Amino acid sequence: MKWMLNLSLVLSVLIAASCNKGGADKIVIGNFGSLTGTEATFGVSTRDGIILAMEELNKNGGVLGKQVELKAYDNQGKPEEARLSVEKLINVDNVVAVLGEVASTRSLAGAPVAQQNKVPMISPSSTNPMVTQKGDYIFRVCFIDPFQGEVIAKFAYNTLGLRKAAIFRDSKSDYSMGLSKFFENKFVSLGGTIVGDEKYAAGDSDFKAQLTNLKSKQPEFMYVPGYYTEVGLIARQARELGVKIPLMGGDGWDSTVLKEIGGEAVEGNYFSNHYTVEDPRPEVQNFIKNYKARFGTVPDSLAALSYDSAQVLFDSIKRAGSVEGPKLRDAIAATKNFPGVTGVITLNENRDAVKSAVVLQVVDGKFKFKETINP
């Protein structure tokens, strides 16, 4: 009888150990993203970038002597699902950290859950300033929109010499609303004028009424900082209405599907982004080569940023010597001069990265590098 008691004691200790993050034989990390829906390429690229970083790490022995495992959930592009995914990752899967989301609105929905549970969250690509203001456990490895808005304002005003802009923004997206405002502030302060300003809502498919209105204001270019599905349709309908001026946007344009939806109508237009595949730095070219070999496609900036976010997380776990929330949080906060694919990553006191941006132009269905703009 005594041996049975001992055995059950041993078993329960073993079970307790495997449920405890620190004691498990694997380190589990989480990801939540739009693996389906109108922003599916954001979620898929982000997940794949994390997988590549994780497989490379595991091949080299993992971290703290353990292999890393990824739990990734689809939120179908819905903020409420995003929040539920983070709850599940933390409460059911016991992840040590969360990587995600792409869209600022969904990062804003998930961040409070990570913050309350003291589980660090690193957004690879959400650029709205409010995301990291959710608390001291929330980080990002990308630049923020007050800067991104300046990038196109300067490019349009200084490089292209344009003076009259129209804005067409997505009222359901914190990203689109914020970026429009930051662009407007900078463009006006440079001396430009906003001659028209219209809204649509993510999921819309007919934009003709607003486009007709904007056209009548005779802008020299139109700023459309939305996500690729709507932007592709907007570009098409704008050209159908005889709007020939350049369209410009932000990182939300970055998807191979933009060209599938927009076709010829997206040709010649410009957007700001986090990285270019034309960057000759070995970090970039090696990443592209390895990603292509693993997934068969050229990585977009989502893949590059999520790869960087995972690398920053692994590096922080190593420096912390622990996966406990508070220790890991401190180590992530101390990230300095980390050589990422998307640039050198140093997190500032707001837990944001300060990095340069690139302006790209759609040429023959490819995103051609135009110029780099530094913060």
Residues that bind ligand PHE (CB under 6 A): 42, 102-104, 125-128, 175, 251-252, 254, 301-302
Least distance (Å) between residue 209 CB and ligand PHE? 25
Q: Report residue 330: phi and psi, to 5°.
A: -60, -40
At position 315, the amino acid (one-letter code) is: D
**Residues 6 or more apart in contact with residue 361 via CB below 8 angstroms:** 268, 269, 270, 367, 368, 370
Nearer to ligand PHE, 133 or 216 (CB): 133
Least distance (Å) between residue 218 CB and ligand PHE? 30
Nearest to 342 by CA among 353, 330, 351, 334: 353
Least distance (Å) between residue 245 CB and ligand PHE? 23
Measure CA 284 to chain center. 17
Rounded-to-integer distance, Cα 271 and Cα 371, Å:
11
Least distance (Å) between residue 46 CB and ligand PHE? 9
**H or E element at residue 214:** helix 208-216
Least distance (Å) between residue 197 CB and ligand PHE? 20
Nearer to ligand PHE, 269 or 301 (CB): 301
Least distance (Å) between residue 9 CB and ligand PHE? 50
Nearer to ligand PHE, 229 or 311 (CB): 229
Nearer to ligand PHE, 175 or 307 (CB): 175
Measure CA 155 to chain center. 22
When CB distances to ligand PHE are compared, the closest residue is 175
Least distance (Å) between residue 72 CB and ligand PHE? 17
List Cα–Cα distances, 331 to 224, 289, 328, 336, 353, in angstroms: 38, 30, 5, 10, 15
Nearer to ligand PHE, 42 or 139 (CB): 42
* One-character DSSP codes across 124-157: SS---TTTGGG-TTEEESS--HHHHHHHHHHIII
Nearer to ligand PHE, 145 or 184 (CB): 145
**Residues 6 or more apart in contact with residue 129 via CB below 8 angstroms:** 144, 145, 146, 178, 352
Nearer to ligand PHE, 149 or 219 (CB): 149
Nearer to ligand PHE, 42 or 367 (CB): 42
**H or E element at residue 270:** strand 270-273
Contact (CB, 8 A) for 165 and 219: yes
Least distance (Å) between residue 336 CB and ligand PHE? 23
Rounded-to-integer distance, Cα 65 and Cα 80, Å:
36
Angle (CA) 51-54-56 rounded to 5° is 110
Nearest to 152 by CA among 367, 361, 364: 361
Nearest to 91 by CA among 175, 173, 21, 174: 21
Contact (CB, 8 A) for 313 and 97: yes
Rounded-to-integer distance, Cα 56 and Cα 217, Å:
53
Nearer to ligand PHE, 180 or 301 (CB): 301
Least distance (Å) between residue 103 CB and ligand PHE? 4
Nearer to ligand PHE, 128 or 316 (CB): 128
